[in-house]
Chains A and B, each alone.
Chain A
Amino acid sequence: MSDAVLRLWLKVADATALTARETLQRSMGYGRTVQDVARSEIWAFRWRDRSRPAEVLERLALETNLFHNPNKHRYEIAVGAEHLHPRGNVWVLVSVPGAGSQMGELLARRRLVDGEIPRVRRAELWELTLDGDKAARSRLAREIAVTESHRKGLLSNPHLEDAAVLTAPPGAEEIVSLLAEQKAEK
């Protein structure tokens, strides 16, 4: 498999991430434990066999307006076992099953990829800076990740989305595999 991930984030302050931080700190009582919240957009690509996938993503980012707007985004690309460099010390990958799946066909129709059409998925990566040791951060991130009740959880609704907590900066293969394991559409 050839796995590659394009991660994009805003150059300016991300109002959604700031709102999430304020909600966690002020409305949900995490004032002492949630120090910061950031967010980025993930596009995950999988080919059965593709040489130099990073070059393909670099070209898609720079030469098309489908993913990256140079006026407002920064981006990074990771391939295979390479890991991304998001902010924070624990991460939550939230995805709507099937999101982004039409992108592969679109790229092929527009002749933006040659040869094999990649399997594409889109997700959101929440980058949390939490207080405590690794185990405590992981526990807290799980609590925040999935909305179980009016009081508990914020970042995903389990009836609509999947959420995975990652305790180390994720690699491209890990992200692509997680998104490939999504349950049937909710």
Chain B
Amino acid sequence: MKGTIRGEPPPRVAVIQLPGVNCEYETRDTLERAELVAEVFRWNRPAAELEGYDAYVIPGGFAYQDRIRAGAVAAKIPALDVIGRGAEAGKPVLGICNGAQVLVEAGLVPGVHPGRVEMGLGANAGGWSGYYCAWVHVRVEKEGRETAFTSRFEDGEILPIPLAHAQGRFAARDRERFREWTEAGQVPLRYVSPEGDADPPFPWNPNGSTGAAAGVTNPRGNVLAFMPHPERAARLRQVPETVAGPWGERRREAARRRDLLEAPGPGFKIFQSLSDYLRWGAHRKRGGRS
């Protein structure tokens, strides 16, 4: 049985199955491993049924075949109205890759004025154009605040993580606004080199993202648009042996000790942090703003 406090039912998470997403089942399984009750929720069910969930995850893929623009059509469906209201009420919302594009197009991220579209996720640039699939390194930069998705990480921790997208470049018409969001701690996950160099060139910043942003939150920290795929780095066996740094060392060690392969991988802490947030509001205890 999944752990609860004070006998409360375990938190329920809806993984939104938009037409064209392709990561919903591994995302659900990873949430379940983090001791959450996760359910794949088809987009054409009555949207009001979403109100019964404690958190929402929009997984990766190609919702509506990326027609018009990645995330643009999905952002208009009734489910996003409910998710938006939930976000305003403090429910956590995680958008992974295509899910991040949906959250940006729905105006939930950066969410300074909820519902207003304040940025975009543009075509990859800065060394590569078109679809790009690779393992990169992301650093957790807390700027003195916690989010619903980062409480399990140490500030400055670097995690190797895979990504696969063609439109992952966070961009805002007004770059000054982007700097303000960064200073406000709304960019807690940024691409770095394996050695931790900030604002790295391609391939470490794989898409030319402004401020090397890999993940952007709303001001409250309960909504995260994250372009890499943490569910594809949730087990140690998913980490390539060639990855640099301690995670690569662990993975190479596990090649000789197969019992270690199912141990948590670098992306799992995002789901564990979400689990903590939902169970105990851990980020609040640790000094978060919300």
- Residues in A lying within 8 Å of B, measured CB to CB: 15-16, 19-20, 23, 27-28, 96, 147-151, 153-160, 186
Contacts and interface: CB of A to CB of B under 8 A. Distances in A.
A28 B81 CA distance: 12
Interface stretch (B4-12, B51-59, B113-121, B149-157): B113-121
B173 A186 contact: yes
A23 B78 CA distance: 11
Given A147-B117, A149-B115, A157-B105, A19 B76 contact: no
A148 B84 CA distance: 16
Contacts of B120: 157-160, 186
Contacts of A23: 68, 73, 76
Nearest to B114: A150
A158 B118 CA distance: 9
B84 A19 contact: no
Nearest to A102: B129
Contact of A155 (B68, B75, B105, B115): B68
A185 to B, nearest CB: 8
Across the A-B interface, the 10 shortest Cβ-Cβ residue pairs: A159-B120, A160-B120, A27-B76, A157-B120, A16-B67, A150-B115, A19-B67, A160-B122, A150-B107, A149-B116
Contact of B84 (A16, A20, A147, A150): A150
A148 B117 CA distance: 5
B171 A186 contact: yes
Contacts of A158: 117, 120, 173
Interface of B: 64-65, 67-69, 72-73, 75-78, 80-81, 84, 105-107, 115-123, 171-173
B75 A150 contact: yes
Contacts of B81: 150
B122 A154 contact: no
Given A148-B117, A150-B80, A186-B122, A157 B69 contact: yes
Contacts of A151: 115
Contacts of B80: 150
B75 A96 contact: no
Given A23-B68, A157-B72, A159-B118, 7 more contacts: A19-B64, A23-B73, A23-B76, A150-B80, A156-B69, A159-B119, A160-B120
A171 B173 CA distance: 29
Nearest to B170: A159
Contacts of B75: 150
Contacts of A15: 65, 67
Contacts of B76: 23, 27-28, 150, 154
A150 B68 contact: no
A96 B115 contact: no
24 contacts: A15-B65, A15-B67, A16-B65, A19-B68, A20-B68, A27-B73, A27-B76, A148-B117, A150-B115, A150-B116, A151-B115, A154-B76, A155-B68, A157-B69, A157-B72, A158-B117, A158-B120, A159-B118, A159-B171, A159-B173, A160-B120, A160-B121, A160-B123, A186-B173
A182 to B, nearest CB: 13
B173 A19 contact: no
Given A19-B73, A27-B78, A147-B105, A160 B117 contact: no
A96 B173 contact: no
Nearest to B169: A160
B158 to A, nearest CB: 29
Contacts of B115: 149-151
B117 A159 contact: yes
Given A27-B76, A150-B75, A159 B172 contact: yes
Given A15-B65, A148-B116, A149-B115, A160 B73 contact: no
Contacts of A156: 69
Contacts of A186: 120, 122, 171, 173
